[in-house]
């Protein structure tokens, strides 16, 4: 996995509940937030978190977060292609809470961290690593799964005997699943 820099300015717009092409189903509702999921095929899943308390003039809810997953090469997990949080909602810890809720609502779901992670993405995975009911672990191509800890100074995952980020010698894969 490698560190990258990304702009924080993200405006996700409004969800068109009247779009005939959208085939979203409700995954969960929580305090005015609704997680919607859409599966185009067996290889991709798209999730939107919308805020039903923040409506525009056309009565459309604000899109808070977007999460795109694709089936991983190892076929046992779903790769996080990207996560975007609208800048009005950034810094509230919504992404790790929504990952957790998604992992709990979809038993057997295993998320695989993206190979390129921004500071925000590393923070999401660090926060998942702090949760008692989520198991975050690492694996290389040849290794058994191993525990990961959180580097509190850097707010990212770490291992005492392996480099998690920017390791030129091996590819590290990071996964999360509900306990």
122-147: average pLDDT: 90
Q: What is the pLDDT of residue 166?
A: 78
User: Number of folded domains in the chain?
Assistant: 1
User: Would 2 be classed as within a structural domain?
Assistant: no
Q: Is residue 4 part of a domain?
A: no
The CATH number of whichever domain residue 136 belongs to comes to 3.40.630.30
Domain assignment of residue 107, yes or no: yes
Could you report the per-residue pLDDT of 27-83, keeping only the tens digit for each?
999 889 999 998 877 889 999 999 999 999 999 999 999 999 999 887 789 999 989
Domain span at 146: 10-178
The answer to whether residue 68 is domain-embedded is yes
Spatial neighbors of 9 by CB under 8 A, at least 6 apart, are: 87
Q: What is the 8-class DSSP label of residue 14?
A: B
Is 45 among the domain residues?
A: yes
Q: Has residue 164 been placed in a domain?
A: yes
Give the Å distances, CA to CA, from 49 to 10, 14, 28, 63, 72: 14, 11, 10, 6, 23
- State how far the Cα of 82 lies from the Cα of 66, in Å rounded to an integer: 8
Task: Kindly report the pTM of this predicted structure.
Answer: 0.85
């Amino acid at each position: 996995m490698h560190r990258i820099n990304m702009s924080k300015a993200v405006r996700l717009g409004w969800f068109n509940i009247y779009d005939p092409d959208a085939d979203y189903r409700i995954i969960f509702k929580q305090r005015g937030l609704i997680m919607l999921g859409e599966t185009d095929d067996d290889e991709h899943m798209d999730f939107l978190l919308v805020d039903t308390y923040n409506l525009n003039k056309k009565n459309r809810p604000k899109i808070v977060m977007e999460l795109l997953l694709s089936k991983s090469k190892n076929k046992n997990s779903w790769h996080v292609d990207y996560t975007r949080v609208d800048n009005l909602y950034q810094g509230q810890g919504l992404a790790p809470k929504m990952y957790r809720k998604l992992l709990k609502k979809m038993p057997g779901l295993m998320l695989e961290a993206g190979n390129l992670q921004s500071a925000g993405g590393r923070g999401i995975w660090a926060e998942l690593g702090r949760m008692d009911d989520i198991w975050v672990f690492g694996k290389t191509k040849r290794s058994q799964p191993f525990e990961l800890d959180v580097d509190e100074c850097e707010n990212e995952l770490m291992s005492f005997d392996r480099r998690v980020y920017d390791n030129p010698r091996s590819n590290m894969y990071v996964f999360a699943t509900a306990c």
